Structure 1
């Protein structure tokens, strides 16, 4: 969703996005950047569908990042 070298700026943007996208937002530090990520998807199809929905809502420059997610962060639908 966003990346910056400033933790203050990343937190400010995180609060802004949290109002619009309240589920599954994460602030991750990957030197030298603080990155805001959205979503926990088991399949690429799920991620693509959400990407399309967000694009229709006006979010630009969306990209899908493959990463590990914790089992506890998945919804019941995603676990089955």
Structure 2
């Protein structure tokens, strides 16, 4: 890709336990330093809202583990052979 990757300021002492980002003209690329071949690419317009949500997540209703394990839309997971 040719981007310049920057490491998080919260990197471990080895420098390999962190999130890295690269900013290009239209996108922000995010990767785990332990698996740099896997990259999440986001348009600039989504970066600030993502970081704001991670820093201050909205209050979520309390749900049971069974409810959390179900897919959205009222469908159910079914085991297949």
Smaller-chain TM-score bracket: under 0.3
Name the structure where helix makes up a greater proportion of residues: 1
Name the structure where strand makes up a greater proportion of residues: 2
Larger relative CO (CA 8 A, sep 6+): 1 or 2?
A: 1
Q: How high is the TM-score relative to the length of structure 2?
A: 0.28
Q: How high is the TM-score relative to the length of structure 1?
A: 0.28
Larger radius of gyration: 2
